Amino acid sequence: MEDQLWHKTRWPSTVKKSLDYPDEPLYALLDNIAAKNPDAPSTLWSGVSRSFAEVKDEADRIANFLVSRGIKKGDRVAIFLPNLPQYPPVFFGILKTGAIAVTCNPSYTEAELNFQLTDAGVKAVFCMDDKRFTPLTYKAVKGTDVESVIVCSVKSFLPKVKAVLGGLMGKIPKSPHYEEGITYFYDNIMEEFPPEAPDVKIDAKKDLALILYTGGTTGTPKGAMLTHRNLYSNVIQIEEWVQLEPPGGGAPEKLTPGEEIYVGALPWYHSFGLTLTMIASYLIGSAVICIPDPRAGKPPLSDLLSDIQKYQGTVMHCVPALFAGMVNNPEVGKYDLSSIKACGSGAAPLPPELAKNFEAATGALVFEGYGLTETSPMTHANPSLTNLRKFGSIGVPIPDTYSVIVDMETGDKVLAHGETGEIAVHGPQVFPGYWNKPKETAEVFRKIDGKDYFLTGDIGHIDDDGFFVISDRKKDMVNVGGLKAYPREIEDTLYEHPAISMAAAIGVPKGDGTGNEFVKAFVVLKAGETATPDEIIAWAKERLAAYKRPKEVDIVSELPVSTAGKVLRRELRAKELEKRGLS
């Protein structure tokens, strides 16, 4: 690609600007590494390791079973599972039939799951054997095209003694009932179907591998269609981008194939965790720790900290809420986290102060990146080198990625560097559109200089070094008397307060019919710290312009967050409006 502004300033000298992408399906990542290092560990969970050869064997058996159930190329198959060892073979097994995986949030209600299964026209769904998951799945499939529910038990992935004792004592999750006619069991599939995947021709550039649903923060959830090439190219881009300075000095080096241990703390139904952790582990042939619930343990997140120490995790991509939870865990000092060397942060703004605190507590390197469900997800990232990164920015476009700032009204006019507008991106990782929504697809694309650019909905500017700085989402801007206050900037400032561990800012209507708003903040205090709302407001007064300053502060025990770790400002706003009689 031709040189851009960001290539001329802080671009890492060892990172290529343009890359080659194999013309092969995404599941080739599994097949390739299973052929090269069949006995190397792939998944780690509860003391049990599964090799790449075992994952491939199970994926082939699943593909064989799905074909026997009438699943063919282009059909949709859903995964309604937490991060368990079944996830990789199920995911790759679906792709080996030519079908499209549809990942579902494990915290979905019956109605939410039913919507997604119906909208995508799903024909089969994999769910966890559990008193909640399985009955909920049976209810959610009613009225849909689903003909097969495959129940996955954790028992087969536990050490034999633990599985036997757990079964005898009733500690292994199990559904209270199984519906006849549509129920199949993962373990039975492994016994009854040989590892023979069908021979399906895949056009990596055109054929879909995945439908990922957006969070629905702007209305009804939409299914983002991602091709095999979208996802394959993104893991290659990321593998090229993440280069670290060796402990003894010298030229930056990529992550070491076969030697890294990925920490699967982010949910794999979400693009951030799926691409940067689960799929990426197969590109470089390294193991991944399965973390079904990162917040488990007493105090919360203790199980995650324990697994990092136990398995010596080296690469951990997280959201700011998880970084905050770990560094503020009252017992964090008990765990040896020195094995962690690279941490990517995304999905929500990373307060600079939080990044510094996490690095001080662990010795790891944290760099902020950026992406969306529609972009596989990564499009921008800070260099993974301390002398090149910029705290407070999302970094620069990664290899083969173009990005511009366009006007917020039409999205047709490219703005000059330094001007604030909407971020638009073009690259091999950008999706072709929304499932069965041509109108919505057309609305988010613009033709610029002969390239199709995706309008991200995020507001920001490009600085003098070519780094992109996000102000906020379009919909989250606070209109204060005609001036625009950005929640991210306010939250970043509040994070600098020594007593605050988490913060969220929203706009609240003044209720005078003018359409004007004021800023209200919600904060969680660190354990053992005290502060009053008035003290926080006074502290902010010295650091923020009058229109950005919180006029009200609520001190709360916790903030609502999605399972992907994003603070749900919309929930805070909805409750606030209801409380004020403005909803």
Would you state the pLDDT for residue 217? 36
Reduce the secondary structure of 372-385 to three states and give it as a string. Answer: CHHHCCEEEECCCC
Q: What is the pLDDT of residues 182-191, one digit of tens each?
A: 999 999 999 9
Cβ neighbours of residue 167 under 8 Å, at least 6 residues apart?
155
Q: Which residue has the tokens 């900037």?
A: 489
Q: Which residue has the tokens 């039913």?
A: 114
Q: Which residue has the tokens 């079964």?
A: 167
Percent of the chain with pLDDT over 90: 75
Does residue 289 register a pLDDT over 70? yes
Q: What is the pLDDT of residues 226-266, one digit of tens each?
A: 999 999 999 999 999 999 998 888 899 999 999 999 999 99
Distance CA 362, CA 246 (A): 17
Does residue 216 register a pLDDT over 50? no
Least confident of 9-18, 117-126, 132-141, 164-173: 164-173
The full set of domains in the chain, from first to last, is 5-21+228-471 (3.40.50.12780), 52-201 (3.40.50.980), 479-579 (3.30.300.30)
Would you state the pLDDT for residue 149? 98
Q: What is the pLDDT of residues 68-119, one digit of tens each?
A: 999 999 999 999 999 999 999 999 999 999 999 999 988 888 888 999 999 9
Distance CA 330, CA 317 (A): 22
Q: What is the pLDDT of residues 355-397, one digit of tens each?
A: 888 898 888 999 999 999 999 999 999 999 989 999 889 999 9
Distance CA 122, CA 141 (A): 9
The one-character DSSP state at 206 is T
290-294, long-range: CB < 8 A, 24+ apart: 290/43, 290/44, 290/45, 290/83, 290/84, 290/85, 290/87, 290/264, 291/83, 291/263, 291/264, 291/265, 292/82, 292/83, 292/84, 293/82, 294/265, 294/266, 294/322
Distance CA 486, CA 488 (A): 6
Judge residue 255's burial from the number of C-beta atoms within 10 Å of its C-beta, 0-12 exposed, 13-18 middle, 19 or more buried: buried
Would you state the pLDDT for residue 515? 63
Does residue 218 register a pLDDT over 50? no
Does residue 163 register a pLDDT over 60? no
Distance CA 306, CA 319 (A): 19
Q: What is the pLDDT of residues 290-342, one digit of tens each?
A: 999 999 999 999 999 999 999 999 999 998 888 988 988 889 989 999 999 99
User: Which has more pLDDT, 262 or 510?
Assistant: 262
Q: What is the pLDDT of residues 387-431, one digit of tens each?
A: 999 988 999 999 999 999 999 889 999 999 999 999 999 999 999
Residue 121 Cα distances to 99, 101, 114, 146, 180, angstroms: 12, 11, 10, 8, 22
